[in-house]
């Protein structure tokens, strides 16, 4: 029996239309016109206990709408959802009690209070028994290296420190499911690694089911094997990261900062995708030419100040996924 079942989920929003021009503004005061935006258009998937699932898609694709429905905040137009055997929006309190949620861009901790006081308030809100609380807290503090931060007011923490505290806060009550919305956004490399290691550990050792929403493909590659790709309200892929790569492309990007701004880079195995002053973006297929070889060729023929290799952005992958041309 899967932990989370979603069947034909549909959700639309009515958005008030802003009419252009002065007449429009005046008319808008009298009567608002609305248009309907379809956020979710028949989404179906299921998740077993203990999975670590990446949930990706461009902005506005419907990711946060899905998470809100799964947590019981939002009521859908139609469709069946079962989380831990219950319909989330009909049993908000019972569902939410076994849920942990972390938003990358907004902390749930109390701004003026020391971290440990936020933790204690959460213990009281979730009614965690004292012994369980102490055990969880000590383990989380240890794993996330928070001991030195406990007495610091949240407003004095750096972004990385705050994110680690938010992670701990979300797990104090021992939830079964953890939703993370852009947890590594804005973090430096060291903190990103710390977060990823932590998530992997609690998934493997504690069996916490994790749904991770992110724009960072490296997060996905490091953590999850299962991937849900959504765009404009529809699921386009439900499979592994390997499936995605195979489905779209194996290509990678080489970004080069040239010494001379007007230098033209031409290579048989590389395609110029974009140019901005002295920086060029090149597309290549590692199956045709290994990255090291391409780099060697480019640096041999041009004066290069700096370069790096990256995967194509997720938007482009998804755009490719249903046939639109990428940038």
Partner 1 sequence: MRPYRAMLSARFRLLLQYRAAAIAGFGTQLFWGLIRVMIFTAFYRSTTAPVPMSLEETVTYVWLGQALLLLMPWNWDGEIAQAIRTGNVAYELVRPADLYWLWFARGVAMRTAPALLRAVPMFVMAVAFLGMGLPPTWGAAAAFAVSIAATVLLSAAITTLLVISLFWTISGDGIVRLVAGAVMLFSGLIVPLPLFPDWAQPVLNALPFRGIGDVPFRLYMGHIPAAEAPRLVAQQLAWTAAIVLVGRFALDRARRRLVVQGG
Partner 2 sequence: MSGIRLYLRYVGVSMRSQMQYRASFVMLVLGNIVTNGIEIIGIAVLFSRFRSLGVWRFEEVAFLYGIVNVAFAIAEGAGRGFDMFSRTVRTGDFDRMLLRPRGTALQVGASEMQLMRLGRLLQGLVVLVWAAGALGIEWTAPRLVLVAFAIAGGACLFIGLFVAQATLSFWTTETLELLNILTYGGTETAQYPLSIYRGWFRRFFTFVVPLACISYFPALAILGREGPGLGATWFGWVAPAIGVLFLVATLRLWRFGVRHYRSTGS
- Residues in region 119-158 near partner 1 by CB under 8 A: none
| Per-residue tokens: 129 | 């028994």
Q: Which of 5, 10, 113, 289 binds partner 2 (CB under 8 A)?
A: 113
Sheet-wide strand order for 78-83: 34-47, 4-16, 78-83
Residue 14 makes contact with partner 2 by CB under 8 A: yes
8 A C-beta contact, residue 67 and residue 99:
no
Distance CA 156, CA 259 (A): 41
Distance CA 13, CA 36 (A): 6
Residues touching partner 1, count (CB under 8 A): 7
Residue number, 20 or 323, with CB nearest to partner 1: 20
Alpha-carbon distances, residue 67 vs 6, 8, 70 (angstroms): 11, 15, 5
Tell me how far, at minimum, the Cβ of 30 lies from partner 1, in Å.
12
Select from 116-124, 160-168, 187-195, 292-300 the region that touches partner 2 (CB under 8 A).
Answer: 116-124
- Non-local (6+) Cβ contacts of 327 within 8 A are 273, 274, 316
Residue 289 binds which one of partner 1, partner 2, none, with CB within 5 to 8 A depending on kind? none
Pairing of strands 279-284, 270-276: antiparallel
Select from 41-49, 121-129, 259-267, 292-300 the region that touches partner 2 (CB under 8 A).
Answer: 121-129
8 A C-beta contact, residue 182 and residue 214:
yes
Tell me how far, at minimum, the Cβ of 37 lies from partner 1, in Å.
22
8 A C-beta contact, residue 229 and residue 57:
yes
Q: Which of 112, 142, 151, 259 binds partner 2 (CB under 8 A)?
A: 112
Alpha-carbon distances, residue 282 vs 81, 109, 190, 285 (angstroms): 44, 43, 28, 10
Residue number, 11 or 302, with CB nearest to partner 2: 11
Residue 25 binds which one of partner 1, partner 2, none, with CB within 5 to 8 A depending on kind? partner 1
- Residues in region 5-44 near partner 1 by CB under 8 A: 20-22, 24-26, 29
Distance CA 244, CA 237 (A): 7
Residue number, 118 or 192, with CB nearest to partner 2: 118
Distance CA 13, CA 266 (A): 48
Residue 162 binds which one of partner 1, partner 2, none, with CB within 5 to 8 A depending on kind? none
Residue 236 binds which one of partner 1, partner 2, none, with CB within 5 to 8 A depending on kind? none
Question: Contact residues for partner 1 (CB under 8 A)?
Answer: 20-22, 24-26, 29
Question: Contact residues for partner 2 (CB under 8 A)?
Answer: 11, 13-14, 65, 68, 71-75, 89, 92-94, 96-97, 99, 101, 103, 106, 108, 110, 112-113, 117, 121, 124-127
């Amino acid at each position: 029996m899967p932990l989370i079942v979603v069947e034909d989920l549909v959700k639309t929003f009515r958005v008030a239309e802003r009419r252009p021009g002065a007449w429009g503004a005046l008319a808008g005061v009298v009567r608002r016109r609305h248009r309907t935006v379809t956020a979710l258009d028949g989404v179906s998937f299921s998740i077993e206990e203990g999975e670590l699932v990446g949930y990706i898609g461009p902005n506005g694709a419907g990711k946060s709408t899905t998470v809100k429905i799964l947590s019981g905040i939002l009521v859908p137009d139609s469709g069946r959802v079962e989380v831990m055997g219950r319909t989330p929006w009909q049993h908000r309190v019972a569902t939410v009690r076994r849920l942990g949620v972390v938003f990358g861009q907004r902390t749930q901790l109390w701004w003026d209070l020391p971290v440990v006081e936020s933790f204690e308030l959460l213990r009281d809100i979730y009614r965690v028994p004292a012994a369980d609380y102490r055990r969880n807290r000590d383990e989380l503090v240890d794993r996330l290296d928070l001991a030195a931060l406990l007495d610091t007011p949240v407003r004095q923490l750096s972004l990385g420190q705050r994110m680690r505290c938010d992670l701990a806060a979300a797990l104090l009550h021992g939830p079964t499911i953890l939703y993370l919305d852009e947890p590594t956004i804005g973090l430096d490399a060291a903190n990103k690694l710390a977060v990823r290691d932590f998530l992997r550990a609690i998934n493997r050792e504690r069996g916490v089911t994790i749904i991770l929403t992110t724009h960072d493909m490296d997060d996905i590659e490091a953590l999850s094997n299962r991937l849900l790709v959504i765009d404009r309200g529809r699921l386009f892929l439900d499979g592994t990261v390997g499936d995605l790569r195979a489905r779209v492309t194996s290509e990678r990007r080489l970004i080069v900062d040239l010494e001379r701004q007007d230098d033209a880079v031409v290579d048989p195995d590389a395609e110029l995708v974009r140019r901005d002053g002295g920086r060029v973006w090149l597309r290549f297929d590692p199956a045709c030419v290994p990255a090291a070889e391409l780099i060697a060729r480019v640096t041999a023929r041009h004066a290069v100040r700096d370069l790096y290799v990256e995967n194509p952005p997720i938007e482009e992958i998804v755009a490719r996924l249903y046939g639109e041309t990428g940038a």
